[in-house]
Amino acid sequence: MKLTTRDKYHLHSRAEFFSNHQGLVKQDDLDKAVDAIFKAQNSTDLNMDLPKWNPDKNKKLSQKQKQELRKTWRKQVQELNYKWFQQMLCENHGLVEKMTLFWHGHFACNTKNNPYTTIELNNILRTNALGNFRDLLYGVSKSSAMIAYLHLRQNKKGKPNEDFARELCELFTLGRDVDYTEKDVTEIARAFTGWTTDAYGKHVVNPRQHDSGEKLIFGKSGNFSGEDVLEMILANPNCAKLIAQKVYRYFVAEKLNEQHVNELSNALFSSNYDITVMMKYLFKAEWFYQAQGKIVKSPIEFLVGIGKAFDLKFPDQKSHKRIQKYLGQVLFEPPNVAGWPGGRKWIDASRFALRLRLGSLVLNKGYIMDELSPELDAQISKKTKRKDLKFFEEVDWDAFWKRNKEASIFDLLIRNENPNLKSTYNSNDTKTIIRLLSTPDFQLT
């Protein structure tokens, strides 16, 4: 298959959030183009200069000191939010960071109160984002963040806590009610008894709290450990199928095509869970290029896409966090262990109105083109006066036009086919850009 320019826009928007025309992959051959994107990827760990973890010192803090420390930690996680967002904007980091964002929603874990666990888990996701799902599953399961979030420390011999066992099966690997029973969940919880962390956050199994008795799991009897259960799950093709379904909804279309899902599932399972093999198969499938404009951008995808398109810096961290909150997706703060619902649920009346205005707010110094919602305009204006929302930037339009001198602005920004819209906005000028960013069509990728 030979890629058209519009196909390349689609590929980059799904794989890397966005690319200006100048940054498009040069190869026209489908296989070579996809391979080139993967080869060009760089990865940078999320990092922050934090004090060395000192559990003995922390134990001696007064109640007031502990409250101050928790307040500091929350601020540091907000800084990490901003740092991660900036990494998403970096050239040749897009695919790695978008996959990290995908896994962030799949292995949803709220770490907003602890920068140490935030960094640990986020880097586990990034390190394995395009690696092997087995390594990713093990890493997440043994992370201090997930152990705390799903109460594995409370999972003890004689009093098993089923939270992790249930979500492991239902959300992370097999799906709802697929090849397991309530009895399996109870027995799996027993296998994970004793899983905890030491004072430095390293995974350990407390032998006194581990149930070493015989267990009946998935129809098999034995003295199974947590690792044994993970391997039993990975041996089930339905694990690969659940991952394939979620990848398809995230990168292809909200409505599943069973044949295409099975193709992805087979690619993942037959490669012994090599994520890169599955993702290359997806991006090289002709049906992927027939799904343009089929997905509603998540808030983070929406913001990163605008940022990459216009080389924005998002300098005000506080306003950046508020925009995430207004749009319904704050990094490191998923609503629950199921993650963000996604799809059309990203858009309700108020959020849709804000999204329609956001491009104009950023690029046009707050001037809203066309009348859509005076109430929202007043709300934004009020917050701006209180200095709660500084979300306007100077755009280097000369640099933008240089990056896109050979582009059709409509094809660059709009992923779905809309002949009426294209005939209305078919000129290459700043006014057309701002108007296109204010259309419902721009919400799609």
pLDDT tier at 378, thresholds 50, 70, 90 = low
Same domain, 160 and 221: yes
Rg (the chain; Cα; Å)? 23
Average of per-residue pLDDT values in the chain: 93
Q: Which domain holds residue 256?
A: 5-40+236-290
**Over the range 33-54, which residues count as b (16 or more CB within 10 Å of their CB) and which as e?**
bbbebeeebebeebeeeeeeee
370 lies in some domain: yes
pLDDT value, residue 357 = 86
Average pLDDT estimate for 286-306: 97
Which pair of structure tokens corresponds to residue 302? 């929406």
Does any domain span residue 336?
A: yes
Structural domain count of the chain:
4
d(CA 425, CA 432): 6
Note whether 258 and 351 are same-domain residues: no
216 and 226 inside one domain: yes
Q: How far apart, in whole angstroms, are the C-alpha atoms of residue 372 and residue 350?
A: 11
Looking at 256, 290, 324, the residue that finishes a domain is 290
Residues 169 and 206 in one domain: yes
Q: Above 80 in pLDDT, residue 382?
A: no
**Does any domain span residue 49?**
no
Is 365 within a domain?
yes
Mean pLDDT of 334-359: 91
Q: Tell me whether residue 361 is in a domain.
A: yes
How far is 364 from 161, CA to CA, in rounded Å? Answer: 53
Residue 189 has pLDDT above 70, yes or no: yes
Contact status, residue 197 vs residue 204, Cβ threshold 8 Å: yes
pLDDT tens across 98-107, in order? 999 999 999 9
Residue 128 makes CB contacts below 8 A (sequence gap 6+) with 103, 135, 136, 139, 275
| One domain, residues 21 and 76 | no
Both 118 and 185 in one domain: the answer is no
In a domain, 264, yes or no: yes
Check whether residue 326 and residue 355 sit in a common domain. Answer: yes
Q: Cα–Cα distance between 172 and 150 in angstroms, integer?
A: 13
Which of 290, 310, 333 delimits the end of a domain? 290
Q: Per-residue pLDDT averaged across 11-36, rounded? A: 98
The answer to the question of residue 48 being in a domain is: no
**Does 389 or 177 have the greater pLDDT score?**
177
pLDDT at 203: 98
The last residue of a domain, from among 290, 308, 335? 290
Is 163 in the same domain as 266?
Answer: no
- Give the pLDDT band (50/70/90) at residue 370: very low
* Of residues 270 and 383, more confidently modeled: 270
Is it the case that residue 315 has pLDDT exceeding 70? yes
Whether 268 and 387 share a structural domain: no
- Is 141 in the same domain as 156? no
User: In this predicted structure, which of 17-21, 143-147, 277-281, 362-366 has the lowest mean pLDDT?
Assistant: 362-366
46 within domain boundaries: no
Element of type H or E holding 55? helix 55-59
78 plus 121 within the same structural domain: yes
Average pLDDT over residues 30-38: 98
Q: Are residues 430 and 321 in the same domain?
A: yes
Helix, strand, coil percentages, rounded to 5, for the chain: 60, 5, 40
Does residue 285 carry a pLDDT above 90?
yes
